[in-house]
Amino acid sequence: MAGQLVLVIDFGGQYNQLIARRVRECGVYCEVVPYRISADEIAARQPIGLIFTGGPNSIYGENAPRPDPKIFELGIPILGICYGIHAMAYTLGGKVVPVAADGKREYGKTTTHYDGNCKLFDGLPSVGISWMSHGDSIAELPEGFEIMAHSDGCPVAAMQNVQKKFYGLQFHPEVTHTENGTQMIRNFLYNVCGANGDWAMGDFLRIQEEEIRRRVGDGKVLLALSGGVDSSVLAALLERAVGDKLTCVFVDHGLMRKDEGDEIERIFGGGAMHFVRVDAEKRFLEKLAGVTEPERKRKIIGEEFIRVFEEEAKKIGAVDFLAQGTIYPDVIESGLGDAAVIKSHHNVGGLPDYVDFKEIIEPLRLLFKDEVRALGGELGLPDSLVWRQPFPGPGLAIRIIGEITKDKLDLLREADAIMREEIANAGLMYSINQYFAVLTNMRSVGVMGDGRTYDYAIALRGVVTDDFMTVDWARIPFDVLNKISVRIVNEVPHVNRVLYDITSKPPATVEWE
């Protein structure tokens, strides 16, 4: 890596890759490394700055992750965020205490007062909203530090030691709830670390291409192509890197949206790329019969996927690498690293223990959705593909609450197609980041004509988001919702009620399972 590097030292927080992504947004190359990294290993990589992340622990906890104290002697600027500021204060001799004696955490949007003399707050208003989420706070500063921000509940919302270039923030500048948070990170990078902004997505492409070529050598690669944004971008990246050593396998598990399988075949099947479509509907539905538990569904689908790939790989012969379009939110929410498990995303947590390939390659693993899209643009893919709404690997299986049957799938496909059509008619397909129908497991009484009905309720979901880690529910106009609702109950048999999901993430998730 010839250019400048920032290392994000991972203490297990949910937002760690969001920090990395903000750094990349500021034009600086960045990698996330585990907190166990030694000072020598850090020094060898010559980073221009370090960022200590948040994390779920208390610094005094039994298994609290602690940084190598020698890191503070390297002369490299450090920014500590949330748990990171505690790790810094504790290691350098300050005192960290629980926020409240009853163990409550300070959580949420907080009015915060900033000292304009701090380089992090350069050019920013002296008062603003910050996002706090912590159980401990700093009671005594380490020697040489001064307080640079405070809120009502948090006397040390920011601290600095200008001489050593050590900075700490109790709140999370990386989340969008913190006003001017990205600018604070930018200020750290440019005003403190001396960043020159020499990094762009084109570099990522070049680095990944070389890395893939080097790893694959003369081997053959099999790609799990779902036709979604991630695997399509990966297909283009791999084709560019290894050309005809790549075979793309599209497993049609029968859990796709209406007409989707044929569309995927039309887009990828015609050209020079080796493309195989496997009709696996029957075997997936057999495995899923009677299964109602969401995590079980995910695991079964993930595992069956791999089995199908293995079989296809054997047909092709001597396949060394399985490529997957896993992106960062899949990784973090599956609870890899030290963060808590939310769902085991297919591609990651769903992997069986034994996989009959030499290696799995996941070049998009560190990117967020919009970064994958930017990469797709860089690779010259058409906007219609790059701006497709995401579709989860387990498909409609996680949009049918309870048992999955072919009839329910067909019903949901029709309802979902109506919703997509009406969203397109209203010109909203790019302003709502993801929208779909869910078949709830609830039946209720209705009246149609003169008769009583006892049929299913369909829930509609629409979300707006930058990164799918947090989302807001989309304010779809009532007349559009009305059109969708009227059409669904009229056109889809066995549906007599339509609901609209008005929860954000958190506390809900995008998908219902």
Q: Which residues carry out catalysis?
A: 82, 172, 174
What is the x/- site pattern for ligand XMP, positions 346-365, by CB under 6 A?
A: xx------------------
Number of residues that bind ligand XMP (CB under 6 A): 18
Q: Please state whether beta strands 220-224 and 319-323 pair in parallel, antiparallel, or not at all (unpaired).
A: parallel
Q: From the CB of 330, what's the least distance to ligand XMP, in Å?
A: 6
Nearer Cβ to ligand XMP (199/468): 468
Contact pick of 392, 437, 460, 476 for ligand XMP (by CB under 6 A)? 392
CA angle, 489 as apex, 486 and 492 as ends, to 5°? 125
- Stretch binding ligand XMP (CB under 6 A), from 19-27, 90-98, 160-168, 342-350: 342-350
In sequence order, the 6+-apart residues with CB closer than 8 A to the CB of 214 are none
Q: From the CB of 510, what's the least distance to ligand XMP, in Å?
A: 4
Nearer Cβ to ligand XMP (189/375): 375
Interaction of residue 253 with ligand XMP, rule CB under 6 A: no
DSSP state of 505: B
How distant is the alpha carbon of residue 361 from its chain centre?
18
Helix (H) or strand (E) holding 169: strand 166-169
DSSP state of 476: -
Interaction of residue 208 with ligand XMP, rule CB under 6 A: no
Q: Please state whether beta strands 136-140 and 146-151 pair in parallel, antiparallel, or not at all (unpaired).
A: unpaired
Contact pick of 260, 320, 330, 371 for ligand XMP (by CB under 6 A)? 330
How many angstroms separate the Cα of 368 from the Cα of each of 222, 364, 371, 468, 513?
23, 8, 5, 8, 21
Q: From the CB of 294, what's the least distance to ligand XMP, in Å?
A: 10
Interaction of residue 343 with ligand XMP, rule CB under 6 A: yes
Interaction of residue 434 with ligand XMP, rule CB under 6 A: yes
Nearer Cβ to ligand XMP (213/388): 388
Contact pick of 114, 309, 328, 468 for ligand XMP (by CB under 6 A)? 468
- Selection from 445, 347, 323, 431 nearest residue 395 by Cα: 347
Peptide bond into 507 cis (omega under 30): yes
- Stretch binding ligand XMP (CB under 6 A), from 1-9, 16-24, 263-271, 504-512: 504-512
Could you tell me if residue 194 is left (phi over 0), alpha (psi between -120 and 50 degrees) or otherwise beta?
left
Q: From the CB of 126, what's the least distance to ligand XMP, in Å?
A: 36
**For 37-49, what is the HEC assignment?**
CCHHHHHHHCCCE
* Residue positions counted in the chain: 513
Interaction of residue 511 with ligand XMP, rule CB under 6 A: yes
Contact pick of 233, 394, 413, 423 for ligand XMP (by CB under 6 A)? 394
Binding site for ligand XMP (CB under 6 A): 298, 329-330, 333, 343, 345-347, 390, 392-394, 434, 468, 505, 509-511
